[in-house]
Structure 1
Amino acid sequence: MDRDLWSGLAVFAAIVEAGSFARAATRLGLSASALSHAMRTLEAKLGTRLLDRTTRSLAPTQAGADLLLSLRPAMAAVDDALGALDSTRARPTGRVRVNAHRPAAMHVVLPRLPGFAAAYPDVAVELVVDDGLVDIVAGRFDCGVRHEGEVQRDMISVRISDAVPLAFVAAPAYLAARAPPEAPDDLGRHCCLCYRYTSSGTIHVWEFAKDEHRFARTVPGSFVTNDVDLMRDAAVSALGVACLPRPCVDRQIESGALVEVLCGWAPVLPPNQLYYPSRRQPTAAFRAFVEALRI
């Protein structure tokens, strides 16, 4: 195969995956102008336009989308071949791309990276925060991190955290003006801070657990966001009651910036799982990363 053509196809796939020339250039270690030149050369050789570009957006044309769909199995095969070669090296090297929801990225993955970096200095980790459900194969991620039960089928999964308790919290300043809620029925008299899922666009329905009884209920949302850190900060700013993973608010509870309410009603989320395609040959770097996160 024409080496320039293969190189251009790889650049095309990287641009679509990254969503922009600038981000693709950063990942590939090239200039945006070099990528633009490569795309012009590729489109000229193929005699068809592969990308629709404006100053604000980028998307593959229908011909480009069809080509990319055909290319992905071949690129996966190349990744597998390189993974097999990498496994023969004495010292893992390369890059591991991870897609994780924010609480897991901050409180599960990030705390283990210093030890991993010290043990494997030649392995770079790219941690992409995404609270939606994503296709890690199409996004060319090595793995994803989601709660147990959210993992895609036909994936290999590894447990990387214990179950995650939730907490209902509010700021002392907010509670100074009203009686704190003691049961779910009390929330009708309160301002609630709600989370909107990025992928589906739906609002998170709050769950409650008492003894063996567990149920869900829609709460009156006075503030809605798609970012758990912003929701925590909104709670600290006395905007209302929030339901958040306990690790996200431990520090604020300890400092007194937030107070737990509805004590005894908070449910527990399933453990976090690291997952990856069963058909892909893992590199030595990726195997080391998995073992560093496994519990």
Structure 2
Amino acid sequence: MANDPFNGLQAFLVVAEHSSFTAAAATLGVTPTAVSQTIRALETRLGLQLFVRTTRRVALTEAGAAFLKRVRPAALEITDAYEQLGDFRERPMGNLRLTVPRMAIPLVLTPLLPRFRQAYPDVSVEISIDDAAVDITEHGFDAGIRIGEAVEKDMIAVRLTPDITWAVVGSPAYFGKYGRPATPEDLTRHEAIRYRYPASRTVYRWEFERDGRDFSVDAPGGLTANDFQMLLEMAEAGMGLSYLPDLSVRGAIATGRLERVLEVFLPTSPGLYLYFPAKAQTQPKLRALLDLAARIGRERK
């Protein structure tokens, strides 16, 4: 390109280093004539003579020496930049950006991230907590975590957790005051803590199964939120019933803070998956995360 400001700079630097067109040509793998023509074209473009040429030697002019003083450090920076790109190809490093739902924090990130940062200190991790579906390509994320059925079909998805069985939960105090629903239809006489989708703004209808048939119930309630953690905490506070993934309520049920109802009617969904574009899987930082997640998954079994 005639207007390329870098055109001829490599030849200039090599001739300046060797003080010889012939030696520079050998280093660059071209003919001395080609080097001479490149330097002449650079001098013409700059409007200055950069070298004094005699039959015995090639020397920098005052302008050439000043130009070299400014250009050589920049050239070293560019060389270092190319070498660093090689590091990105060969070892995990850089910044790993993930978008995840809140429920993935205790289930996936808490056991994974401390070990990942210890094993790969050159990789910084940035987490964006968002229960809504996120276009990772559009928003500049390397990968995301979502329930399997919510992952776009054009993404590679790697399982992180077992399948999820949904749960209707309430506190012992709530059940002591209002009783327990025996069927999904009984929910119309209870207080639900409802979930609103952040993107569509619609309120989630609780899903159930009976005799092989799927159906949903629009459970009424005076509190609506778009965050699973709030649904969990408000259920523990006795404000009503929440519909949540069993993976996220396991601890609260084990300690007695929450109790399950309607278990025979609850469906199962695919578990949590790490998803990313196919072209991203060659990144060492993402590959390292996948390998460690798989190792932790095997240790849990």
**Interval of TM-score (by shorter of Structure 1 and Structure 2):** 0.5 to 0.7
**Take 1:256 and 1:106, find their aligned partners in 2: how far apart are those partners?**
18
**Take 1:86 and 1:287, find their aligned partners in 2: how far apart are those partners?**
14
**Take 1:196 and 1:83, find their aligned partners in 2: how far apart are those partners?**
45
Q: CA RMSD in A?
A: 2.4
8 Å contact from structure 1 (residues 86, 284) kept in 2: no
**Take 1:147 and 1:83, find their aligned partners in 2: how far apart are those partners?**
36
Equivalence for 2:86: 85
After superposing the two structures, state which structure 1 stretch, 112-121 or 175-184, moved more.
112-121
Q: CA deviation at 1:87?
A: 4.8
SS of match in other structure, 1:112: helix
8 Å contact from structure 1 (residues 194, 221) kept in 2: yes
**Take 1:199 and 1:183, find their aligned partners in 2: how far apart are those partners?**
30
Q: CA deviation at 1:247?
A: 2.2
8 Å contact from structure 2 (residues 281, 287) kept in 1: no
Q: Indicate yes or no: 2:158 matched with 1:151.
A: no
How many pairs are equivalent?
217
8 Å contact from structure 2 (residues 149, 269) kept in 1: no
Equivalence for 1:230: 230
Structure 2 residues without counterparts, runs of 5 or longer: 6-81
Equivalence for 1:204: 204
Deviations along 1:116-144, one digit per CA (max 9) or x if unpaired, are 22322222221211111111111110001
Equivalence for 1:107: 107
After superposing the two structures, state which structure 1 stretch, 159-168 or 276-285, moved more.
276-285
Summarize the Cα distance change of 1:99–1:188 in structure 2 as closer, same or farther, 3 Å threshold: same
SS of match in other structure, 1:124: strand
**Take 1:99 and 1:212, find their aligned partners in 2: how far apart are those partners?**
35
SS of match in other structure, 1:230: helix
**Take 2:88 and 2:209, find their aligned partners in 1: how far apart are those partners?**
47
Summarize the Cα distance change of 1:219–1:87 in structure 2 as closer, same or farther, 3 Å threshold: same
Q: CA deviation at 1:221?
A: 2.4
SS of match in other structure, 1:207: strand
Whichever of the two has the greater Rg, that structure is 2
Q: Identity over the aligned pairs, expressed in percent?
A: 36
**Take 1:129 and 1:82, find their aligned partners in 2: how far apart are those partners?**
34
Higher relative contact order (CA 8 A, sep 6+): 1
**Take 2:153 and 2:208, find their aligned partners in 1: how far apart are those partners?**
28
TM-score, structure 1 normalization: 0.67
**Structure with higher helix content:** 2
TM-score, structure 2 normalization: 0.66
Equivalence for 1:37: none
